[in-house]
Every structure is written in structure tokens, then in C-alpha cells.
Amino acid sequence: MQKIGKQTVKFDTPPTILQTASIVGPKEADGPLASYFDQCLEDEFWGEKSWEKAESKIIKETVNMAIAKSGIPSEQIDYCFAGDLLNQCISSSFGLRELNIPFFGIFGACSTFVEALCMASIFLEGGAASYALCAASSHFCSAEKQFRFPLELGNQRPPTSQWTVTGSGAAIVAKNGMGPYITHITPGKIVDMGIKDANNMGAAMAPAALDTLISHFKDTGRSPSYYDAILTGDLGHVGKEILIEMAETKGYNIKSNYNDCGVLIFDKEKQDTHSGRKWLCLLWNCIFWISI
Amino acid sequence: MDFLTSIDWMQMLRCFIVGGLICIIGQILIDKTKLTPARILVIFVTTGAILGGLGIYQHLVDFAGCGATVPLTGFGNALAKGAIDEVAKSGFIGAFIGGTKAAAGGISAAIFFRIYCISYFKTKNEKTIKNGDFLSVFSFFFYFMHFLQFLQF
Amino acid sequence: MKPIQTKKDYQNYVEQKSPNSPIIKNCFNAFWVGGLICSIGQIIFNYCKYRGMDIQISNTIVSIILIGLSAFLTGLNLFNRIGKFAGAGSLVPITGFANSVVSPAMEYKSEGYVMGVGGKMFTVAGPVLVFGISASIVVGILYLIFNTQSITLV
């Protein structure tokens, strides 16, 4: 493991993402990615009394599913890195309390999942662990309740507003394996360009994503065409366009292989979301290259 | 029907147009200024109270009836008018009694109907009425009818 | 396109890049829904007058019935659809006030009846009451100070 350039870490024996699992809510199940999820829920409560409890259940079941799929007994998993959007990370803390794995609660908003992967891979590479668990969850209803307005409030969503994904993703990361590998990580800086509109998060986040992408290209000496796919977490349609245009002015053409998970997960034409948000946060302020 | 013939249809049209125009002002505020709904409600109530205090709003009420009283500016106007009337009646202390007194009906009704709603309905996302809810629709109907009876309606 | 240097540049760029709300369509919907709600109020008002009630009581009954209907629609999860369609059309009439009281009460029911329903009920509507009642107190005091008809002569 060594630091290259300004803010990138390069792994000598890259950790492997061994197995993944995902559970999503009904709206995501209607989206174009439905067939890739392990389980789709019928409603947002999943038999629980509150959305927070439902979110806890979702992350718990996802983690159990990932462990079961990987075939590694949970005693052998050394650390668990998990987080969510709620205060004090309650969904993941309560959801994973029966897991009996040492727990790091992390908060990175949209970048939580990638943050977990970054920390886990540094632990694995440093020899502190041989298996680590990464998980993140979000729930549309609990997030709206915490950050915006009650669902029954009759207000209009402007065209730039985003829709938080209901769901959870989990991954088991191993020290050795056959890939896909995590070879480089580039944590990004906080970039604030003064966008104050809470309904236009894509535009607020795009400059940070751009800054991270460019740092990654500079540090590794690669160009965008080196990659099969460059993915951001949740810039949405507005943020995606802004990122592509701004990258072009800086001399990077990412048009052909760049996409955004928030754009992918919902169907703009069929589903009334004004674009998706969070969950498969493969990259927002972190980039990693997956080679197979 | 005596009642139907007693309706002043020109009054109704004025009510429709004025009420609609006040809503358009709100819509322009929402779309152009990115204010949250709570702020817009606050702006409307405060504007109504100021216009009511100056006596301007009463002209609009005379002109448009419920077109001016049903929007929240009318609520603000009722508050201001209540305060002024009470001051005229009982002096300084009236400034603290009048406004709330005028708004009491609305606030209490909101709390009252909320009790019904939270006991019969479950919050849900993007779901239409399910079978069980029809029962609550009927029970609400009777609840409401009883309520109107109490109002001697 | 020029490279973006300052925050101001970026804000202008985002402004121009973000899709605008369809304002004409929104205003049209707000107009007719808002007008319709007011007209329903007017019918109730006329009925009250027909039954021989005085204006003050009639106005209160109009508010109470509209609040009741709006609370009911909120409970059925229909009001947020009307709100999505009509925007200010359903927000600005008293129905929007009722909706903003009932919706947090329903949402926070899962946190218990005292601190959840009771405490969070006025999270959205609270400011309306605070500013409305404050304004009425100011108006009352001003009226007391300038206790003449000149203030209401306009």
C-alpha cells in the first residue's frame, strides 16, 4: 500500500469484493435495474411499525444475505463498516446489533458505501483483517421525514429535486481472491460552490465529483478512456450533465463511459421521481477501479 | 330549492377569480423564489394581517366573499380584525386576546380532525385506498354528519 | 463554454442548466383549483347565511368544514396528490394549513402520542400561527396607540 500523487492510495495486493447482496423497495423494483437486485419489497414497512425499523430490517437482512451467499461463517469476518442517512446511524447500529462483528459506524451521506469499501480495503491491505463487511442503507420515507417535509404534506417537487432510494447494499471484501479488485482509492475534498437549493443536490455535488475525478486522473496518470465505466453515486440528470460539461472544459472527455447510479436506478419517463439518489454509491468522492 | 335560487352567481364568479388569483401569487412565489411552503404560508398570513390592520383587506372581502376569506391571507385578516375589535372592546389586553380568539375555531378544528385522522389512517407512501380504508371513509362520513348536526347545519 | 472560476459563475451556470418548473401550467392549475376551493367555501357560506347565521359564525364554519375535508383527504393520502397537481392552489387556501397540521401528526405517530403526535404536530404550521398571532398583537397595539379611525380609513 502506498500513496501516489496528491490524494490517491494504491494497493499492492488489491482486496477483492467477494460477494454482494441488495434489497430494495417497491419503487426501485419498478425501475430498469430491477432484475439485478436480490430481493424487492412489496411495501415500505415490511411488516414493521415505523420506517426506521423497516430500514433496520432491510440492512440486517441484506447483510445476512451477503454472508450466506459468500459461504464464509460470520465468526471469520473481522470488521464491519456500515452506515446510513439517519441520526447516529440508528438503522445500521440497530440492524446489525445481533451480528457480533466489531462495528465501525460511518457517515458519508451519499458516499457511505464507498467510504466503507475504502476503509475496509485499507484494513485488509494493512493486515488487520482478512474479511470485512461493508454495508449501507437508506429509506425514502425516513430520509424525507428527517430532512424535508412529511409525506402527506401537499407540496410540489421541483424538476431538479431528487428521490432517495429505499434499499440497502452489502458487500463482503476479502484479502485475497479472484476479483473484482479494489486497486486504487481517491478520497475527495469537500467542494462548496454555494448552491443553497435543497432541491438541487446534483448541482451542489457535481463540483466535488469533478474535483475528485480530476485528482484521480492526475495522480494515476491515466486518462478517462482507460476505464470501461466511470460511475458517480447520485448526481441525477442535472448533476450528470453539469459534470460532463465541466469535465470537458477542463480537458477531460468522459461522455462515452460516464454514468450516474441515480440516473440508472429510476426510469425518468415512466416513474415520477425527478431522479434517484444514493445507495449504489460507487463513486462520489471516491473512485476505485475494478479490474476483472 | 330556495337555497339554489338564493345564490348570487356573480358573487360566486368573483369569489372564484379572486381566490384563484391569490393562489397564482403563491404559485409564482413557489416557482420563482424557491421558498419552502412553510415560508409561503407565513408570508401570506403576515401580509393578510398587515392589510387587515390597515383596513384594506376588508374591501377585498366585501368584493369577493370567500375568495378572500378562505386563502390564508383571510386567516391573517381575521386575526388582525379580531385584535382590533377586542382592543376597541376591552383596551390593551384585547391585543393579546383578540387575534387568537378569532383564529380559535380554525386551530381547534385542525386539532380535532387530526385526532380522527391519526386514529383511523396509517401514513403510507404512494399507496391508494385499500379495502380496510373504506370502513374509515364511511365512519368519517357519519362523524362529519354528526359534526354538522352539532353545528345546527 | 468558458471554464468556471468563481462561485458566482457556477451559480449562474447551474441556474441556466437546471430545468425550470413549468410555471404557466402550474399557475393555471393553481388558479382553477384555488378558485374551486374558494367557491366551495362560498357555497357553504351562502348556505349558512340561508340558515340565518351571522357572518362571523358563517366564516368560522366555512373554515372548519374545509379544514375537516382537507384533513380527511390528507388521511386518505389523496391531498398530497392534489397538492402535487395544484401547488399553491391547495396550499394557500385554509386547506393547506389543515394539511400542514395533520401531515406531521400522522408522520410522527410512530414516535408516540405525547412527543410524537403532540410535539411534532405544529412543525410546519407552527410558524404560521407564531407569525400570524404576533402580527395580530402588533396590529392591536398599534390600533390602541393610534386609536383613531384614520388607520382604517384607507
| Cα of C7 to nearest chain B Cα, Å | 19
Give 3-state DSSP helix, strand, coil % of chain B, rounded to 5. Answer: 85, 0, 15
Mean pLDDT of chain A: 83
pLDDT at residue A103 greater than cutoff 90: yes
Structural domain boundaries enclosing B124: 2-150
CB C107 to CB A150 under 8 A? yes
What are A36's three cell numbers? 439485478
Q: Please tell me whether residue A194 adopts helix, strand or coil conformation.
A: coil
Residues in chain B with CB shorter than 8 Å from the CB of A149 are 36-37
Q: Place A195 in a pLDDT band, splitting at 50, 70 and 90.
A: confident
The neighbours of chain A, by the rule of 3 or more Cβ pairs under 8 Å, are: B, C
Calculate what percentage of chain B has a pLDDT beyond 90.
Answer: 27
H or E element, residue A57: helix A51-70
From C34, C50, C98, residue closest to B22, measured CB to CB: C34
Residue A94's pLDDT band, with cuts at 50, 70 and 90, is very high
For B112-122, what is the mean pLDDT?
71
- Among candidate residues A190, A107, A198, the one with its CA nearest the CA of residue A148: A198
Residue ranges and CATH numbers for the domains of chain A are 2-174 (3.40.47.40), 184-277 (no CATH)
Query: For B135, which residue in chain C has the nearest alpha carbon?
Result: C76
DSSP-assigned states of every residue in A208-246? HHHHHHHHHHHHHT--GGG-S-EEESS-HHHHHHHHHHH
Query: In this complex, do C3 and A249 lie within 8 Å of one another by their Cβ atoms?
Result: yes
Instruction: Give yes or no for A198 touching C (CB within 8 A).
Output: no
**In the predicted model, is pLDDT for residue A65 greater than 90?**
yes
Give the pLDDT band (50/70/90) at residue A68. Answer: very high
| Bond preceding residue A180 cis, omega within 30 of 0 | yes
Mean pLDDT to the nearest integer, B132-152: 66
- Specify the pLDDT at position C144: 83
Mean pLDDT of the region A108-130: 90
Are A167 and A25 a contacting pair, CB within 8 Å? yes
A251 to chain C: closest CA residue: C3
**pLDDT score at B73:** 92
Q: Which residue of A has its CA nearest to B33?
A: A197
CB within 8 Å: C30 and B12: no
How much is the pLDDT for A104?
94
Provide the number of structural domains found in chain B.
1
pLDDT tens track for B18-47:
999 999 999 998 888 877 778 888 999 999
User: CB C136 to CB B44 under 8 A?
Assistant: no
- Put simply, the answer to whether B125 touches A155 (Cβ < 8 Å) is no
Measure the CA–CA gap between A79 and A82, rounded to whole angstroms.
10
How many whole angstroms separate alpha carbon B110 and alpha carbon C63?
Answer: 10
pLDDT digits 0-9 by tens, B39-75: 888 999 999 999 998 888 999 999 998 999 999 999 9
Query: Is the pLDDT reported for residue A139 higher than 80?
Result: yes
Q: Where are the domains of chain C?
A: 27-123, 124-154
Structure-block grid coordinates of residue C99: 394539511
Average pLDDT, chain B: 80
Q: Return the exposure string of A197-216: e unless at least 16 CB atoms fall within 10 Å of the residue's CB, then b.
A: bebbbbbbbbbbbbbbbbbb
Contact at 8 Å (CB) between A132 and A78?
yes
CA angle A78, A83, A86 (to 5 degrees): 150
Backbone angles phi, psi at B23, to 5 degrees: -65, -35
Chain B CB contacts of C31 under 8 Å are 20-21, 23-24
If DSSP codes are grouped into helix, strand and coil, which group holds residue A23? Answer: strand
Instruction: State the pLDDT at residue B152.
Output: 63
Instruction: Please state the rounded mean pLDDT for residues A207-218.
Output: 89
Between positions 156 and 185 of A, the ones with CB within 8 A of C are 156-160
C108 contact residues in A (CB cutoff 8 A): 145, 150
Q: How confident is the model at residue A279 (pLDDT cuts 50, 70, 90)?
A: very low
All chains having 3 or more CB pairs closer than 8 angstroms to chain B:
A, C
Q: Distance (Å) from the C-alpha of residue C113 to the closest C-alpha of chain B?
A: 10
DSSP character at residue C52: T
Mean pLDDT by 10 residues, chain C (154 residues): 76 82 88 93 88 85 88 82 87 89 82 81 86 90 73 47
A281 pLDDT tier (thresholds 50, 70, 90): very low
